[in-house]
A = this chain, B = another copy of it.
């Protein structure tokens, strides 16, 4: 009982041995993450089209719930850029931005997503995330980063613009540029420049100035806070909001409120597919981060338990004024770098943010939206990495096209189309690749018991025995292919009396393929040729034993290809053994 409770609530595991030194490390990490999270949370809420406080609320209860149910010791849960963009795309289809319905729809989305993640966790469906290939994710993140950066340009220029695709965003933005608010631009552009410098140049500069590596790192991470403070003070002191600079404005001074999502079936069914996408993308992002960080310390992540942790976090967001959350890369790395040892660091961060929500929100009243936009732009451009195109092109054209299509469709038709197309094209390319399997004629590597492709190795063969290694599981997509392939090799010439299919790479034979094998056996029998199998794996053999195929088989099933060779080509086998005796010993 306790064992199973501990399994489903990892906090009971690490919580029992929590030490004073762990606590002091966790506290330090929490302070650093809290400072970083305040502007970031406000900015992502802005990106999702929600009031600024939603970003802070989405960081408090979700973190606490993940602390109880999650398995990663470093993951920091909260609003992240890509999920915020997906949220905006999903909700703007069902409600007007800025309306009450919009914020409530965000709660419904978090509720649906939380429910889905929880169900996937309980049914151990974590492997579903694998349908997103690494290159597709990389392409999607890169394209999303570009889209997000483009969507924030309007805040830098102080104009109205919008859209779901790169073209829409630029089409609505460009005509507005003549109406640029120059005061806003005078805040936004330097903020972008400063933040880029903080990201790239500040830490080395501090090191050169003689500061320790740890301190340099902390100061560099706190850099965005400096931009927030300076631009807020400037706006307040010079009254810039009266000169057209958009500011965050009134943010309620309160702990996260209790909120109820809209449970109307019409809305939930409209949000179903977007919620599924958000769940899967959020899960994939989170688990990648968690696994990367865990691998550093030799810890293990349980994907199904992670689903439960993220599900609980999203349900928490749904009932406390938040919106969909997941484990973020930037904040998790900061948390880890800052020395967090247990999930308690997350709990302390939540307390810090709760304190900020309750007491510090008046301080951000004069914070320009341009500063927040600058924070987002610099953060997401860090995600943009087109090198995946070059790397996949060098390695495999199939992967390259999956990435290229994902990037193009995400930019051209929006995030939902892009990622769906990426998944579909990956699956389709895989099926196409397996539909025409590689079939190699093999011969004996002299002096060994090992058989390799006649086209690549100097091997022994026998004109009467055609040994074909089938390099693919046999299933409906390639069932007919094998028959054609064998027949084509036979019409080419030589008087073959035995065909041996080497099944070392055949991991499954489905019913369609079984019928094809039966038909091949029948055709060969009519031509006086025996069909044999060798190196059939246990699971495949178990299946075949339940059918009449083995009764009808013209030849035999050999344990190894070497056995088949010794039996079917005894002369050649003897010769080979004489030629290079014991070379393998």
Contacts and interface: CB of A to CB of B under 8 A. Distances in A.
A210 interface: no
A371 to B, nearest CB: 37
A539 interface: yes
A222 B477 CA distance: 39
Interface stretch (A3-11, A127-135, A274-282): A127-135
Interface string A419-454: 000000011001101111110100001001110110
A395 to B, nearest CB: 5
Contacts of A523: 295
Given A135-B511, A435-B127, A511-B399, A449 B584 contact: yes
A431 B539 CA distance: 17
A408 interface: no
Interface stretch (A227-235, A353-361, A362-370, A555-563): A555-563
Nearest to A559: B450
A471 interface: yes
Contacts of A577: 585
Given A134-B512, A479-B134, A559-B445, A471 B507 contact: yes
Contacts of A395: 511, 514, 543, 546-547
Contact of A480 (B130, B456, B515, B563): B130
Interface in A518-560: 519, 522-523, 526-527, 537-539, 543, 546-547, 559-560
Interface string A389-401: 0011011101100
A132 B506 CA distance: 20
A470 to B, nearest CB: 9
Nearest to A519: B295
Nearest to A400: B511
Contacts of A436: 127
Interface residues of A, number: 76
Number of this chain's copies in the assembly equals 2
Given A435-B127, A473-B472, A505-B507, A394 B546 contact: yes
Contacts of A226: none
B559 A481 contact: no
A475 interface: yes
A433 B509 CA distance: 12
B505 A134 contact: no
Contacts of A431: 131, 427
A504 B507 contact: no
Given A300-B487, A392-B511, 9 more contacts: A132-B476, A298-B527, A391-B511, A449-B449, A449-B584, A452-B559, A456-B538, A472-B473, A566-B584
Interface of A: 127, 130-136, 295, 298, 300, 391-392, 394-396, 398-399, 426-427, 430-431, 433-438, 440, 445, 448-450, 452-453, 456, 471-473, 475-481, 487, 504-508, 510-512, 514-515, 519, 522-523, 526-527, 537-539, 543, 546-547, 559-560, 562-563, 566, 577, 584-585
